[in-house]
């Protein structure tokens, strides 16, 4: 048995370090840490409410828009302002574009290159994996081109990405005119073609009609596109057996239009589907380099660093839903939504590396489909924006579904300025450290019992499992 520190990780957003306890063949225990503190929530204190729209997105350069959306939704609740439908549609398109670009970046730049590592050079499928080689494989350039062209939607809708300021509590400052709707449709059409030709190898409608694991097996037969290539590598490497978090699945819900949400709010645990009891979310800091009471509700939380704390090993707090750790992300939200395909794959295999990756890539098809409708629904003659005013005192919580899962913002105003701001980001849930009961976080559980290949110091399976969550450490240790 030995201990080993693994890090830094390339191709994850931000800084990550993992301590493994292992023997020759297996990971026994893992502790996850992001070795950085920024305290971004403290930057918001004593500022005007709308300043959150400048500071929150700068927590994260990869999921910047999701931070804007969560902040704007929390502020909208405080000002009690309904958003015009055009504002909702435009906000959804901007967030949808970010989620698409994140999923694409994750699949091609962050996750797939690990299959082209030298450790797999004697595998019969290795020649297929070379397409995904970091920096050198042809898939990298194709994905970057598709990503750059897709982000042209941001130029039209949001001015720029990352860090737009068009998203407000009362809608968007940017108006979309008829000619711009056309431009957006053309850009999205081009991205649909990339997905159909390169990622899925079939029309998106075929991907969206899959209802069960058997359907996937049938669909991938004779399919040589990139998602099917991943499924082949995954089958060879048993990636549908590893990386199980054994955690409650949670979705905060998001992408609202006219009172309904594309991604539903809820949880899925041993009792099946259930409502999300928002009040029962708390953060445990027993193993975090943070001062204060062990369990803190976000409305009463503090963010003071305490580096020499006994038992602490991470800057990340440990969010818990009545003492349970929760997994968030594309897989979680589609199981919570009750989608047949993901309920079936989750019930058969649980949350594995393969299921997480498949759900994320599949979600691109779903989003493109909805974004096409959202563009059509914009009525350029109607308003996109309503001005809002804030009460002197008040508190609100709001959620957005970011690429990596549920993002929650808790805001409190006192005498007209921000007196408390707490954020629980997707990777804070997924990469949380242990809690006071000693219960490990989702990634820590997912790494337990991971098989180690012969002679490996830096196990490649750990790399696959870590990246299957698409971690964003910048958000985690905001």
Partner 1 sequence: MKTTNALWLQCGACGGCSMSLLGYESTQLHDALQSAGINFLWHPVLSELSGQAMVDVLKDILKGTIKLDLLIVEGTPLLGPNGTGRFQMLSGSDKPMSQWLIELANLTKYCVAVGSCAAYGGIPIAGDDRLEGTGLQYHTNQLGGLLGANYTSSSGYPVINIPGCAPHPDWIVETLSCLAMDDMRPTDFDPEGRPLAYFGHLAHHGCPRNEYYEFKASAAQDSDQGCLMENKGCKGTQALGDCNIRSWNGSGSCLQGSYSCIACTMPGFEDTDAPFLETAKIAGIPVGLPSDMPKAWFVALAALSKSATPVRVRENAHNATIVHQPTRKKAPQ
* 198-237 positions binding partner 1, by CB under 8 A: none
Helices 178-194, 138-150: axis angle to 10 degrees equals 160
300 in contact with partner 1 (CB under 8 A): no
CB of 115 to partner 1, least distance (A): 11
At closest approach, how far in Å is the CB of 387 from partner 1?
5
Contact between 139 and partner 1 by CB under 8 A: the answer reads: no
Interface residue with partner 1 among 23, 48, 193, 203 (CB under 8 A) is 48
Query: How far is Cα 7 from Cα 18, in angstroms, rounded to an integer?
Result: 7
- DSSP letter for 352, please: -
Over its C-alpha atoms, the chain yields an Rg (Å, rounded) of 22
Binding mask 327-356 for partner 1 (x = CB under 8 A): ------------------------------
Site residues (CB under 8 A) for partner 1, limited to 444-463: 457-458, 463
Q: Choose between 44 and 239: whose C-beta lies nearer to partner 1.
A: 44
In the complex, what is the shortest distance from the CB of residue 33 to partner 1, in angstroms, rounded to a whole number? Answer: 8
SS3 of residue 363 by DSSP? helix
Cβ–Cβ < 8 Å for 191, 372: no
Regarding 120 and contact with partner 1 (CB under 8 A), the answer is no
Listed ranges 32-40, 280-288, 345-353, 397-405: which one lies at the site for partner 1 (CB under 8 A): 32-40
Cα distances (Å, whole numbers) of residue 77 to 80, 96, 215, 401: 5, 22, 42, 17
Q: How many CB atoms neighbour CB 217 within 10 A?
A: 10
2-6 sheet: strands from edge to edge: 2-6, 17-22, 27-33
DSSP line for 91-117: HHHHHHHHHHHHHHHIIIIIIGGGGGS
Q: Which residues contact 459 (CB under 8 A, 6 or more apart)?
A: 6, 20, 22, 27, 450, 452, 453
Tell which one of 27, 74, 93, 158 touches partner 1 (CB under 8 A). Answer: 158
**Which one of 151, 290, 375, 397 is in contact with partner 1 (CB under 8 A)?**
151
Query: For the window 246-285, what string marks contact with partner 1 as x by the rule CB under 8 A?
Result: ----------------------------------------
Is residue 51 a contact point for partner 1 (CB under 8 A)?
yes
- Smallest separation, CB 429 to partner 1 (Å): 19
Does 58 engage in binding with partner 1 (CB under 8 A)?
yes
User: Which CB, 28 or 130, lies closer to partner 1?
Assistant: 130
Judge whether 83 and 91 are in contact, CB under 8 Å.
Answer: yes
């Amino acid at each position: 048995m030995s201990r080993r520190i693994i890090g830094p990780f390339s191709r994850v957003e931000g800084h990550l370090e993992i301590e493994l306890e292992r023997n020759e063949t297996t990971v026994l225990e893992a502790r996850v840490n992001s070795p950085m503190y920024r305290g971004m929530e403290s930057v918001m204190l004593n500022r005007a409410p709308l300043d959150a729209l400048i500071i929150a997105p700068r927590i994260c350069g990869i999921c910047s828009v999701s931070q804007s959306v969560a902040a704007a939704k929390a502020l909208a609740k405080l000002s009690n302002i309904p958003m015009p439908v055009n504002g909702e549609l435009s906000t959804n398109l901007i967030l949808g574009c970010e989620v698409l670009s994140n999923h694409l970046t994750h699949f091609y730049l962050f996750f797939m290159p690990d299959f082209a590592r030298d450790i797999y050079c004697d595998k019969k499928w290795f020649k297929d994996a070379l397409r995904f080689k970091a920096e050198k494989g042809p898939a990298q350039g194709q994905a970057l081109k598709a990503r750059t062209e897709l982000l042209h939607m941001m130029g039209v809708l949001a001015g720029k990405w990352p860090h737009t300021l068009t998203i407000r509590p009362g809608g968007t400052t940017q108006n979309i005119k008829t000619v711009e709707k056309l431009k957006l449709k053309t850009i999205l059409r081009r991205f649909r073609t990339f997905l159909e030709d390169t990622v899925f190898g079939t029309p998106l409608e075929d991907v969206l009609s899959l209802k069960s694991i058997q359907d996937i097996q049938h669909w991938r037969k004779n399919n040589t596109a990139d998602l099917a290539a991943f499924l082949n590598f995954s089958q060879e490497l048993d990636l549908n057996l590893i990386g199980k978090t054994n955690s409650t699945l949670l979705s905060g819900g998001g992408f609202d239009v006219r009172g309904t949400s594309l991604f539903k709010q809820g949880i899925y645990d041993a009792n099946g589907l259930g409502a999300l009891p928002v009040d029962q979310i708390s953060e445990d800091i027993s193993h975090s380099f943070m001062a204060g009471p062990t369990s803190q509700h976000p409305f009463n939380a503090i963010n003071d660093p305490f580096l020499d704390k006994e038992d602490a090993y991470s800057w990340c707090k440990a969010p818990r839903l009545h003492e349970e750790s929760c997994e968030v992300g594309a897989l979680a939200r589609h199981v919570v939504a009750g989608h047949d395909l993901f309920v079936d794959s989750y019930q058969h295999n649980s949350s594995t590396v393969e299921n997480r990756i498949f759900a994320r890539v599949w979600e691109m098809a779903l989003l493109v489909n909805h974004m096409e409708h959202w563009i059509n629904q914009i009525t350029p003659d109607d308003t996109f924006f309503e001005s809002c005013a804030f009460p002197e005192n008040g508190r609100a919580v709001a959620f957005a579904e970011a690429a990596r899962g549920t993002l929650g913002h808790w805001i409190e105003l006192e005498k007209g300025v921000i007196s408390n701001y707490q954020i629980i980001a997707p990777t804070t849930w997924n990469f949380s450290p242990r809690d006071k009961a000693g219960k490990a976080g989702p990634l820590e559980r997912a790494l337990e019992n991971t098989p180690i290949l012969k002679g490996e110091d830096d196990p490649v399976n750990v790399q696959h499992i870590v990246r299957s969550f698409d971690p964003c450490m910048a958000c985690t240790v905001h």
